[in-house]
Amino acid sequence: MRLCLKKILLTISGATVTFLLVAFVDQQRREEGGGLSGRAARFSVSPSGRGWTKGSLDGGGLAEPLRALYGYLAALVPFRRDAAARPRLPAPDLARKVELRDVFIAIKTTRKFHQSRLELLLSTWVSRAWEQTYIFTDDEDEELTIRTGHRVINTNCSSAHSRQALSCKMAAEYDVFIASRLKWFCHVDDDNYVNMRALLNLLSSFSPTQDIYIGKPSLDRPIEASEKLPNNKTRSVFFWFATGGAGFCINRGLALKMAPWASDGNFMNTAERIRLPDDCTIGYIIEAILGVNLIQSPLFHSHLENLQLVSKSQVQSQVTLSYGTFENKRNIIEMKGTFSDDQDPSRFKAVHCLLYPETPWCP
């Protein structure tokens, strides 16, 4: 019975091939008889053997039509069999990889630190992210503006280190970021070193659809704030916030949700509601109002922590570093042997040469 069935199938297949071949050749001869000269447009098998591509076949002869027809029939069946047997792999999530061009980096500074602090940043990590880095300050500086390609924003905020002045600059940072249409907002201070490779790796680890607020808190517990309510009433609110001194990042989706409390001057009004500085206000909006939790990361560092605990072997994986004083002592990363203390008091030059040894001024 099986042998008989097999013969019947072979007979049907042979008849089908013969019919298609005759029809193919007959059509070709009709076109030639109709006075078509030169080469007539045809569909031939693609180099992969998996489909038809538009090409040209010579008008006369039978060999080429045979090759085309048999090539297509021979390639079609194995392809379908392979496609059915092979499991389908999910397409790679290319949208998840964050590139430098996706990130908006805001440096908050003041006029008196343009030389002593910004000069160091411009010669180190900012040189690797010129087009993505914007400097928010409180006075005009034509030389700095030209050097950075007009990426200096004079906020006209006070140069004082008060919560009002700090919130004024943060409000400007937020509005400029929203206008930029970039995917990520990262804030740092003028005493931070940003490791761009580590930053991009970190941001790429999150889903594009997730609300992200990431940084390091300066406290070991949520901060308590007294929130103003109507009729001169107040209530206590508790929330985590990422200290601005270590830097923090927010993705665009979450930043847009902050708009009612942060855009067009509303940020300063929100800061007054809890009477706390700018970084606390960011945490208040995101955690207390929007209900999104801070992702606490050990990869961000401020001068408020003991930086000597960060070893040289760990530097390449850290997102931000800092320098300053801690418990009345000099607080820097331990990077011996590259530059002297006088040449590199912050150790940012040594860090930069470790990450980018090809830099011309590195030893």
What's the pLDDT band for 11 if we cut at 50, 70, 90? low
User: How much of the chain, in percent, has pLDDT values that exceed 90?
Assistant: 70
CATH of domain 100-303: 3.90.550.50
Pairing between β-strand 152-154 and β-strand 329-331 as defined by DSSP bridges = unpaired
Confidence of residue 95 (pLDDT cuts 50, 70, 90): low
Q: What distance in Å separates the CA atoms of residue 68 and residue 55, rounded to the nearest whole number?
A: 11
Active site residue 175: no
How do residues 110-126 score in pLDDT, each as one tens digit?
999 999 999 999 999 99
- Report the percent of the chain where pLDDT is more than 70: 74
Q: Which of 84-88, 181-185, 228-232, 244-248 has the lowest mean pLDDT?
A: 84-88
pLDDT surpasses 70 at 314: yes
**326/213: higher pLDDT:** 213
Cβ within 8 Å of residue 274, ≥6 positions away: 225, 226, 227, 228, 237, 280, 281, 284
**pLDDT level of residue 54 (50, 70, 90 thresholds):** very low
Whether the pLDDT of residue 82 is over 50: the answer is no
19 pLDDT band, cuts 50/70/90, is low
Which range, 17-21, 23-27, 344-348, is most confident?
344-348
pLDDT(279) > 60: yes
136-157 average pLDDT score: 97
What whole-number distance in Å separates Cα of residue 250 and Cα of residue 246?
A: 14
Q: What's the chain's Rg over C-alpha atoms?
A: 33
Furthest CA-CA distance within the chain: 100
- Centre a 10 Å sphere on the Cβ of residue 100 and count the other Cβ atoms it contains: 14
C-alpha distances (whole Å) from 145 to each of 53, 114, 121, 125, 157 are 56, 11, 15, 18, 17
Residue 318, pLDDT > 50, answer yes
Reply yes or no on whether the pLDDT at 325 is more than 60.
yes
Interval 284-313 mean pLDDT: 97
pLDDT digits (tens, 9 = 90+) for 179-192: 999 999 999 999 99
Quote the CA–CA distance of 225 and 229 in Å, as a whole number.
12
Domain coordinates in residue numbering, the chain: 100-303
What value, to the nearest 5°, has the Cα angle with vertex 20 and ends 17 and 22?
105
Whether the per-residue pLDDT at 248 is higher than 80: the answer is yes
Among 211, 278, 279, 344, which one carries the catalytic annotation? 279
Q: What is the pLDDT of residue 36?
A: 36
SS (H, E, C) the chain: CHHHHHHHHHHHHHHHHHHHHHHHHHHHHHHHHCCCCCEEEEEEECCCCCCEEEEEEECCCCHHHHHHHHHHHHHHHHHHHHHHHCCCCCCCCHHHCCCHHHEEEEEECCHHHHHHHHHHHHHCHHHHCHHHEEEEECCCCHHHHHHCCCCEEECCCCCCCCHHHHHHHHHHHHHHHHHHCCCEEEEEECCEEECHHHHHHHHHCCCCCCCCEEECCCCCCCEEEEEEECCCEEEEEEECCCCCCCCEEEEHHHHHHCHHHHCCCHHHHHHHHHCCCHHHHHHHHHHHHCCCCCEECCCCCCCCCCHHHCCHHHHHHCCEEECEEECCEEECCCCCCCCCCCCCCCCHHHHHHHHCCCCCCCC
Over residues 292-310, mean pLDDT: 97
Q: Does pLDDT of 39 surpass 90?
A: no
Question: In the predicted model, is pLDDT for residue 52 greater than 70?
Answer: no
| 163-201 core/surface letters (b: 16 or more CB in 10 A; e: else) | bebbbbbbbbbbbbbbeeebbbbbbbbbbbbbbbebbbe
For residue 72, give both structure tokens.
């297509």
Length of the chain: 363
Residue 93: predicted pLDDT = 56
pLDDT digits (tens, 9 = 90+) for 151-161: 999 999 999 99
Q: What is the mean pLDDT of residues 213-234?
A: 97
Give the pLDDT score at 225. 98
- Provide the pLDDT for residue 114: 98
Model confidence at 327, pLDDT cuts 50, 70, 90, reads: confident
